Amino acid sequence: MPSAPFESDIAALVPSLQDLFAAALEACGCDGNAGITRISDRLGVHRKLAWQVRNVAYATDPYQAVRYMPTRAGIDTLIGALEGVDGVDTLVQELRTKADDFDRLIETHAGDRTSFEMLVEAASGASGEQSEIKWREKAFLGNSFIWGARARAQLSVSILNFSADRPDHFDMAQVRGLIGLKRVRPNVHWLVGQAVILDGQQPRDRRRTPLDPEAAAAMDGMPILPQFCSEPLPRIRRRPVGSGIVNHELLPAPVGFTGQQTVMTGEIVRELAPVHATETNRRALFATVVRTPAQVFIYDMFVHRDLFPGVERQLCVFSELNSPVTQDENDRLPISESIQRLGSGLTGARTPDVPAYPQLLRSVFKRTGWNPEEFELHRVRLAYPPMPSSVVIRHDLPPR
């Protein structure tokens, strides 16, 4: 006969374990108000186990209780401590039986404790930001080894303003950066940008221009901002990969800190899209991709104060495992972080994650000729962002 679903098994078993833990505390003259030191002394167990027993006993739901559940060795230590207490023989036997049942629950649904805890946190529907970060950090470490590189930070900046030549459309200046990129193994190339070309030379999209044209010309078309890159300037090659697409790739560098690099690029896209809803387009989507293992991801969006008034912005993170252009809710990843509104101008933009960030922003605004005091800043900050993914800020377009 097939086993019951995971959630049903949790609901059937864990509350009875909680009752037994609470009974164990009461048998030793303790309750939910007892301090950890008192519980530790009365049971004769280590403080950590005392803390776990109290938290399991009085957790508000079974999933929370599992997060505090001691290992089987810890439960056996608790049982051993109770065996010296008069009148608890039945309690000891029930606790041993339920501990066996809990072991079988883990084996049936997950096979090991770590996988089981992952199932619990996912099934609870309320894992929270810290729990998500814990698992994303594990993924970051694994991806760093697998792909052979990792960055201290990934930066994405979008600045949206009315188009001077076509006021019913908007322009977008954008900055993309990898900060403190380190190789984990030698001979690793790393993709830092792409371009689409026509007849082997000219950009297909003539509205897209580098913020620093001279630097871009010297780097074979890559819109680099050398003032904000590491020195010596990272070596980059331009490699056609078919269908008119050209990759800009960092060439291999020494592993670890000796080969650490920072790469920053910037360009402006003119007349990107209409500022109002149309029959075929009623929603604005601003996305940036994450394909580098990074400790932190910063996405700053500066929006002119008169552009998109009153809209409600939403943060979505989509997996790119199935498609790099998906907006399917089935591909949406669980993210507890939200969009922060940090006021107007550059005052609220300071962050320890990006060295010389105020200077970078002032330089970009100077090159565009726009006044930063006229722009409102919206920020997304993700620790250990999932990859490959698209981080999207979206909102409905206002009516005309």
Render pLDDT for 280-315 as a digit per residue (tens, 0 to 9).
888 999 999 999 999 999 999 999 999 999 899 999
| Per-residue confidence (pLDDT) for residue 249, from 0 to 100 | 87
Tokens representing 148 are 């052979």
| Per-residue confidence (pLDDT) for residue 10, from 0 to 100 | 92
The Cα–Cα gap between 59 and 78 comes to 18
Average pLDDT over residues 373-385: 96
| Per-residue confidence (pLDDT) for residue 237, from 0 to 100 | 82
pLDDT tens across 48-102, in order? 999 999 999 999 889 889 989 999 999 999 999 998 788 889 999 999 999 999 9
Q: Give the DSSP letter of residue 2.
A: P
Tokens representing 242 are 């078919």
- pLDDT of residue 245 exceeding 90, the answer is no
The more confident residue out of 73 and 117 is 73
pLDDT tens across 335-369, in order? 889 999 999 999 999 999 999 999 999 999 999 99
> What pLDDT band is residue 239 in, cutting at 50, 70 and 90?
confident
Note the helical H segments in the chain.
6-27, 36-43, 47-58, 62-68, 72-82, 89-109, 113-124, 128-147, 213-218, 357-368
Quote the pTM value. 0.78
- pLDDT of residue 207 exceeding 80, the answer is no
Beta-bridged to residue 122, according to DSSP, are: none
| Per-residue confidence (pLDDT) for residue 243, from 0 to 100 | 67
pLDDT tens across 308-336, in order? 998 999 999 999 888 777 778 889 998 88
- What is the average pLDDT value for the chain, to the nearest integer? 89
Show the 3-state SS of 95-124: HHHHHHHHHHHHHHHCCCHHHHHHHHHHHH
With 0-12 CB in 10 A as exposed, 13-18 as middle and 19+ as buried, what is 264? buried
| Per-residue confidence (pLDDT) for residue 195, from 0 to 100 | 60
Q: Which residue has the tokens 């404790």?
A: 113
- Asked whether 300 and 340 are in contact (CB, 8 A), the reply is no
The Cα–Cα gap between 221 and 194 comes to 10
